[in-house]
Structure 1
Amino acid sequence: HPVGVDVETMSRLLATSKERTMLSFMVNSFQRVGEKSAKEVLKLAGIPENKNPKKLKHDEVTALVNAIKKYGKFRAPDPSSISPIGEDLLEVGIRNMLNPEFLHVVQRPPSSYSGFPFMVEVGLAYGGDIPPSETIKLYRFANKIPLLYDERADVVWKVVNERIDWSTYKVPRTAPLAIITHICSPKIPYKTVGKEAVADRPEIERELLAAIREAARALKLYLSKIEKRTMAVKRLNVYARYLPLIAKFAANLADRKKPPKIDKLLEPLGIDKDLVEKARKEMLKELEIE
């Protein structure tokens, strides 16, 4: 796929190509490139369609690579050579492993780096069996194989810890948060021969960032609902605690033997009568009112 091909790779492809024109080179050397899109890219780069690929100068190669990046109309890479886990299986696996109270799974569309297709899948889990920690728990996979070492050298660690401000998504400093990532590609750009850390290629970093941010937005919405629910419960507790006393004091001021019934006031608020009675007794005990 042309998107993600750098100048060095393009120069190598041009030098080894058997095509006689740039038009045929573009069509036959790259995936998902037709004659129409090839002509448009060559025009954008200012390169004649019938020019011999081997005769391109360095500045023309650079112009071609830049034109490909600017074009933006190529179809997504063919995903037939990559093997994603899939959103459903990823969700089932995370639930079985972490039993989270919140889970959001994202599968990004196929993309490419240096001409190689790849796909990013991300799961963001919160609560449940995840212990609260100041550091986010990372589970990294590449082509369905877990990466257990060199975590801080991995592009995932960089995105999670350096590219994202988690306070923006209402995540507290100490939180039960885990992120699961899966990168699949016929050629994973590992940093070392040990194959334990994925290099921070811009294309892969961009896809990871987009996927994690999407999941983080869903988490923010969930945490906002929890926050609103907590505030609502606190307000109900205040009503349940003080309304019966206000009714009693009002009756005393009016020289009435019995306080007015407040059930009709409490029912629309969703306050249970048992909660009211419990709160009343606690308040009377605190104030030592007989």
Structure 2
Amino acid sequence: MAGKNLGTSLRAEIFEAHRPHLRAVAYRMLGSLAEAEDAVQETWLRASAADVGEVRNIGGWLTTVTTRTCLNALRSRAARREEDLQTAYGADRPDGSPTPEQEVEAADAVGIALLVVLDTLTPDERLAFVLHDLFAIPFDEIAAILERTPASARQLASRARRRVRGTSPATPDASRRQQAVSAFLAATRAGDFEALVALLHPDVVLTADPAVIPTPEPVVVLGAHTVAKGAMAATGRAQFTGPALLDGAYGLAMAPHGHLRVLLTFTTHPDSGLITAIDVIAEPKRLAAVEVAVAVA
């Protein structure tokens, strides 16, 4: 689009051609498809009212408007972290907002673990990492959005990158755990009871902290069939669950709309690879104590 004379106002068809890219940027910035749609719509409202006659790169200009909108939303979110979840997730949005299925599809495309880690970054770190590492936007352009120097923007992205990317030890035990956890997630999402039982050691122990149910004391569940029944009851929540590195070990993170709610750590038998223990973590202090990262081969 560079060099094209757009006149003084932006035509709707030009904006629509850029909408998928803007939505992708906004989703990775905000972690919620509903909020991303809101940010893109706000970009359209601003763009349609602006004089763009002198804009030579309309795509870059629209991306800047969208990211600034998202940055404001992230900074506002950081100031009200304890707000009601239903409000944060847009429960009262009008018809036409993204469906839960669309939210799940978007989360799967990006990766639950990435969304979880992005949610732990500062707004400026998140913007620098998303724009540079995920969309290859130069640091001088990122610096202009953040009102920082390019060197500062580069440092923000580097700091975020170290927190995002993790490595799992290349050992037979780690490989077996990864296979078992991936199969556990697939069977839970599919509601496949027999497959779940086949993955669990007959004497498997599941421990859930008091914030999971909630209950006054931790809940302990024993035996493959009982644990599998519990997993079946969580099939709906499993749609917002994905693999992650938890303190360097392969596990699962549940993060509806990109906000971490539950972690599951696993222990597997060294010989059979069957799951012998599952720890379900939901207490905020315990969640905060676990280092979550994206698995990188």
TM-score with structure 1 setting the length: 0.25
TM-score with structure 2 setting the length: 0.24
The structure showing larger relative contact order (alpha-carbon pairs under 8 Å, at least 6 residues apart) is 2
